[in-house]
Amino acid sequence: MREIASASVEVLTSGSLTELREMIATARNQRDQVQSDLRDAKEELASQEKELNRKKGSLFRWFFKKRIAELEDKVPITKSEVERLEEWSENTKIGISFETTDAAQRAYAALVRAFSSLKLCSAKWDITSDREANRVVERTMATRTINRYPVTFDFASNDLIQFDGNAMRFENVNGEDILLYPGLVLMARSDGAFALIDIRDLQVTAMATSFVEEERVPPDSDVVGHTWAKVNKDGSPDRRFKDNYQIPVCEYGRLVFESRNGVTEEYQVSGVRAAEAFSLALKGYQNALSGSV
């Protein structure tokens, strides 16, 4: 089987977005350090307040008079430190505003609508590997054998990018999820590494494909024919197999994601027209962006 997977995120970033990626990475590292300091400060404040309340409520509080005075001086200072770190934490986030023409904004809205329809498809699969089928040996009409896994398409967010809205997310079984924002694509790995791809560098091709469906037929797919579990070259059932059974052939949508820096992903969806509409909407948005540069 040939694996269908993108290159490492370290090499996927578009050249035009390298500087932005470095800025986001630096801000994230600063935020992580600030948040670590903030957790420590909050724990210290809680400890001081607990001790102060305990000693002030003690029957022997006169005995702790000096310590109570020390804590009453320390608590406001620690509170001030917590507030300072909270404010600093907010300032370590990079807010990204996407300024485009009215035409590009309308094209993006059309892309979001197309994605909303795409994510409603009854079945969506990530194609992780494939090979050419040996039709004679395998006694099949299929020309291609694939490994596929059910996935989810949805609207999501990622704390790397501060955006007033949600990205369009394509779940990826054997790699990083693909998040589409206005103008760029984010692919983030669980260890913190990530890539930013200019959305104009992403090519998404849609096409109709016939698939021999041995699982449940999705309600929104079209059955375009039938075949048999074991067939002869002419498509007739191979009578040598006693329990040979008929199998529906469904028409699905195939979405192929590619970029010159190494994005290589493939999806299969039950709705052909939804896949084609999404690909067309993305091309329309890319053309609108190119016109606004």
Same domain for 169 and 84: no
15 and 28 share one domain? no
> In the prediction, which pLDDT does 206 show?
98
Q: Which residues touch 188 (CB under 8 Å, ≥6 apart)?
A: 9, 158, 160, 176, 177, 179, 194, 195
What domain count does the chain have? 2
CB 55 within 8 A of CB 65: no
Distance from C-alpha of 104 to C-alpha of 110, rounded to nearest angstrom: 10
Whether 111 and 244 map to the same domain: the answer is yes
Write out the residue range of the structural domain in which residue 143 sits. Answer: 2-22+99-292
Residue that is last in its domain, among 57, 91, 125? 91
Asked whether residue 218 falls in the same domain as residue 230, the answer is yes
Could you tell me how far CA 37 lies from the centroid of its own chain? 30
Say whether both 59 and 149 belong to one domain.
Answer: no
Tell me: do 280 and 182 sit in the same domain.
yes
Is the same domain home to 188 and 232?
yes
Cα(first)–Cα(last) distance of the chain, in Å? 42
pLDDT score recorded for residue 260:
94
Asked if 245 and 229 touch (Cβ cutoff 8 Å), the reply is: yes
Asked if 124 and 8 sit in the same domain, the reply is yes
- Of 49, 65, 91, the last residue of a domain is 91
Where do the H-state alpha helices sit in the chain?
Answer: 18-56, 65-91, 102-118, 135-138, 272-292
Give the gyration radius of the chain's Cα atoms: 28
pLDDT in tens, the chain (293 residues): 899 999 999 999 999 999 999 988 888 888 888 889 999 999 999 999 999 999 988 888 888 889 999 999 999 999 999 999 888 877 766 667 777 789 999 999 999 999 999 999 999 999 999 998 765 554 555 678 899 999 999 999 888 887 888 899 999 999 999 999 999 999 999 998 999 999 999 999 999 999 999 899 999 999 998 887 777 666 666 676 767 778 899 999 999 999 999 999 999 999 999 999 999 999 999 999 988 54
Q: Are residues 159 and 254 in the same domain?
A: yes
Last residue of a domain, one of 91, 118, 144: 91
pLDDT at position 208: 96
Determine the pLDDT at residue 134: 63
- Among all chains, which residue has been given the structure tokens 């997310």? 169
